[in-house]
Amino acid sequence: MLEVRNLHVFYGGIHALQGVSLSVPEGAVVTLLGANGAGKTTTLRAIMGLVRPREGTITLNGVSLIGKRPYEIVRLGLSMAPEGRRIFPDLTVLENLLLGAYARTDHDGIARDLSFVFSLFPRLKERERQRGGTLSGGEQQMLAVARALMAAPKILLLDEPSLGLAPVLITEMYRAFARLKEEGRTILLVEQNARAALSLADHGYVLETGRIVAEGPAAELRESDLVRKAYLGV
Amino acid sequence: MATYLQQLLNGVTLGSLYALIAIGYTMVYGILRLINFAHGDVFMWAGYWVFFLVVLFHLPWWMAALCAVALTALMGVAIERVAYRPLREAPRISLLITAIGVSFLLENLIIVLPWAGGRQKPYPTPAFMTQIYQAGNVRIQGVTIWVPLIAAACLLGLIFLVYRTKVGRAMRAIATDTETTALMGADINRVISYTFLVGSALAAVGGILWGCRYPRLQWDLGIMPGWRAFTAAVIGGIGNIVGAMLGGFLLGLAEILIVAFLPGLSGFRDALIFAILIFFLLFRPTGLLGKPLKEKV
Ligand SMILES: Nc1ncnc2c1ncn2[C@@H]1O[C@H](COP(=O)(O)OP(=O)(O)OP(=O)(O)O)[C@@H](O)[C@H]1O
Ligand SMILES: [Mg+2]
């Protein structure tokens, strides 16, 4: 269980997060929705230890993550597919994936997870020896997700995995997420694509200019006026 | 023919020394975007470590050499830890000035240390390096054989480390994206320490072998080889490890061949090397093998 309470983050004078609270229970898929600049990425970056909150708490199963360095947080069981994919262009697909498992020493487990992510994204298997930079945008996103899975995280953080993808690829991506959910994996999914996210998630939060303005079970959020108007365009 | 072969071997010898030093410049630049001005002095210190250990502690030469590699490598790690790491988030220029400061410190330490002194010291060269081998009418000195062999072994080891091990993967990853490498669960500080360890160890091997070829120790002996190796790194494409090796060999060969066959120009050799450096920086800053290095994220 990941718990974020009353999180405040500043960039210089900009008050980017103004008291964000959310929780991700074990086995659940939770989505965090919001428009451009709402603070979604900042929330994930604070959880991963990439920005330091001025106030608030972040705990994973009761252990505080505040002040921990990113590699320590990965070792505690979180991993993230960052915004913009951020794959290593000069490394091969396989090397990217193995880097995802950097903190692990269980070679059997790594081999098992490698064949798992290849079954999840067969295109990656075909391109195993290719440099990451030669992949298409969709394939790079698959690689980013697969690489995060290679850490065998307790909770997987995804930052706008559908951004910039063709509809058919978004469908493919979400099919993979559905499979992860079936397996009982815990996911915190950041999206602007509310339709896709809410159809997958159990629970959702809506973030606007640094504050949570709505939350609830995904089915309820989908019916709420706020979400229908602002995010589903109906 | 014989002189030609001999000069070729001399060029390879010198080139392999430059290659060993150039690696450290290029690896550190790739990761920190820092021209580590202290690197040539780290190289110089390796020779002095051998001198201290042999002359003051009477260690056998090979043992002194091994200890010198270890001590120099730790020195490189310590320099990063103490002088560069606190400036990780500072503007590049502060880091650059600090590197120059470290360089002066390392040189001046040698000048004031009682056993090193300001005066030249003879480098303890082992017999197998000075021995002459005769093959037909080609006479070859031990250094000419051993230096390229040892250098080649080290460079192969480096390639294995960088391209076939986990920490090597992280080193290559950091060179393009530090933050994402941290997100992979890698302790960035550790990976950077490893980089300095490896770069300084190779410079140490270079320094120890350099002493066998030019057996005089003096506080400033690292400066010119440092500049030449840096030039080699730029020729090969700064940040590119294979490029640094290539640049080192090319520069060493060019230098020896010019001195041997155009002796009239040999007085200009430092000027020529700086001209090459400036030429590359102006017209081909990415070097022979380098791709344009993006601003790091
Ligand atoms: N490094 C930074 N320096 C200054 N301001 C920043 C920085 N990163 C983000 N911000 C600001 O913080 C606010 C939240 O940004 P954030 O990237 O978290 O939004 P987001 O919800 O992820 O948006 P998007 O959907 O565009 O990815 C924005 O106003 C943004 O301009
Ligand atoms: Mg974002």
- Give the residue extent of every domain in chain B: 9-283
Residue A215: closest CA among A16, A85, A34: A34
Are residue A59 and residue A102 in the same domain, yes or no?
no
> Is the CB of A29 inside a 6 Å radius of any atom of ligand 1?
no
> From atom 2 of ligand 1, which residue's Cα is the shortest distance away?
A11
User: What per-residue confidence (pLDDT) applies to A1?
Assistant: 94
Counted domains in chain A = 2
**Residues B173, B168: Cα–Cα separation, whole Å:** 9
Q: Which sign does the torsion angle of CA B276, B277, B278, B284 carry?
A: positive
Between B133 and A142, the higher pLDDT residue:
A142
- pLDDT above 60 for A104: yes
Q: Which of A126, A149, A172 is the last residue of a domain?
A: A149
> Is the CB of A51 inside a 6 Å radius of any atom of ligand 1?
no
CATH number of B9-283: 1.10.3470
Residue B186: closest C-alpha in chain A: A71
CATH of the domain at A198: 3.40.50.300
> Average pLDDT over chain A, rounded to whole?
96
Q: What is the pLDDT of residues A161-192, one digit of tens each?
A: 999 999 999 999 999 999 999 999 999 999 99
Could you list the residue range(s) of the whole structural domain that residue A32 is in? 2-77+153-230
Q: Which of A102, A150, A158 should be substituted to probe chain B, the one whose Cβ sees the most B Cβ atoms within 10 Å?
A: A102
User: What per-residue confidence (pLDDT) applies to A42?
Assistant: 98
Between B1 and B244, the higher pLDDT residue:
B244
Q: Which residues of A touch B172 (CB under 8 A)?
A: 88, 90-91
- pLDDT above 70 for B293: no
- Terminus-to-terminus CA distance in chain A, angstroms? 34
Residue A234 pLDDT class (50, 70, 90 cuts): low
**Residues A58, A67: Cα–Cα separation, whole Å:** 10
Q: Do B185 and A48 touch (CB under 8 A)?
A: no
> Is the CB of A41 inside a 6 Å radius of any atom of ligand 1?
yes
What is the rounded average pLDDT of the residues B223-247?
Answer: 94
Residue pair A140/A123 in contact by the 8 Å Cβ criterion: no
* pLDDT above 70 coverage of chain B, percent: 97
Give the ipTM.
0.95
What is the rounded average pLDDT of the residues A95-116?
Answer: 97
- pLDDT above 90 for B257: no
Q: Which of A98, A124, A149 is the last residue of a domain?
A: A149
> From atom 1 of ligand 1, which residue's Cα is the shortest distance away?
A11
Residue pair B21/B229 in contact by the 8 Å Cβ criterion: yes
Are residue A72 and residue A157 in the same domain, yes or no?
yes
- pLDDT above 90 for B297: no
User: What per-residue confidence (pLDDT) applies to B97?
Assistant: 96
Q: Do A82 and B184 touch (CB under 8 A)?
A: no
Residue B296 pLDDT class (50, 70, 90 cuts): low
Give the number of the ligand closest to the Cα of residue A17: 1
Are residue A113 and residue A226 in the same domain, yes or no?
no
> From atom 22 of ligand 1, which residue's Cα is the shortest distance away?
A41
Are residue A10 and residue A72 in the same domain, yes or no?
yes
> Is the CB of A38 inside a 6 Å radius of any atom of ligand 1?
yes
Bridge pairing between strands A186-191 and A211-217: unpaired
Q: Which residues of B touch A102 (CB under 8 A)?
A: 166, 170, 184-186
> Average pLDDT over chain B, rounded to whole?
92
Are residue A16 and residue A48 in the same domain, yes or no?
yes
- pLDDT above 70 for B160: yes
Where helices occur in chain A by DSSP H, the ranges are 40-47, 70-76, 93-100, 107-120, 122-126, 137-149, 167-182, 194-200, 218-223, 225-230
**Residues B44, B49: Cα–Cα separation, whole Å:** 9
Residue pair B84/B33 in contact by the 8 Å Cβ criterion: no
Instruction: Give the distance from residue B182's alpha carbon to the nearest chain A alpha carbon, in angstroms.
Output: 6
pTM summary value: 0.93
What is the rounded average pLDDT of the residues B180-209?
Answer: 98
Are residue A96 and residue A128 in the same domain, yes or no?
yes
Are residue A140 and residue A207 in the same domain, yes or no?
no
Are residue A107 and residue A138 in the same domain, yes or no?
yes
What is the rounded average pLDDT of the residues A151-159?
Answer: 98
Give the number of the ligand closest to the Cα of residue A37: 1
Q: How many CB pairs under 8 A join A and B?
A: 62
Residue A226 pLDDT class (50, 70, 90 cuts): confident
What is the rounded average pLDDT of the residues B231-254?
Answer: 94
Q: What is the pLDDT of residues B26-48, one digit of tens each?
A: 999 999 999 999 999 999 999 99
Are residue A8 and residue A68 in the same domain, yes or no?
yes
Q: What is the 3-state secondary structure (H, E, C) of chain B?
A: CHHHHHHHHHHHHHHHHHHHHHHHHHHHHHHHCCCCCCHHHHHHHHHHHHHHHHHHCCCCHHHHHHHHHHHHHHHHHHHHHHHHHHHCCCCHHHHHHHHHHHHHHHHHHHHHCCCCCCCCEECCCCHHHHCEEEECCEEEEHHHHHHHHHHHHHHHHHHHHHHHCHHHHHHHHHHHCHHHHHHCCCCHHHHHHHHHHHHHHHHHHHHHHHHHHCCEECCCCCHHHHHHHHHHHHHHCCCCHHHHHHHHHHHHHHHHHHHHHCHHHHHHHHHHHHHHHHHHHHHCCCCCCCCCCCCCC
What is the rounded average pLDDT of the residues A186-208?
Answer: 96
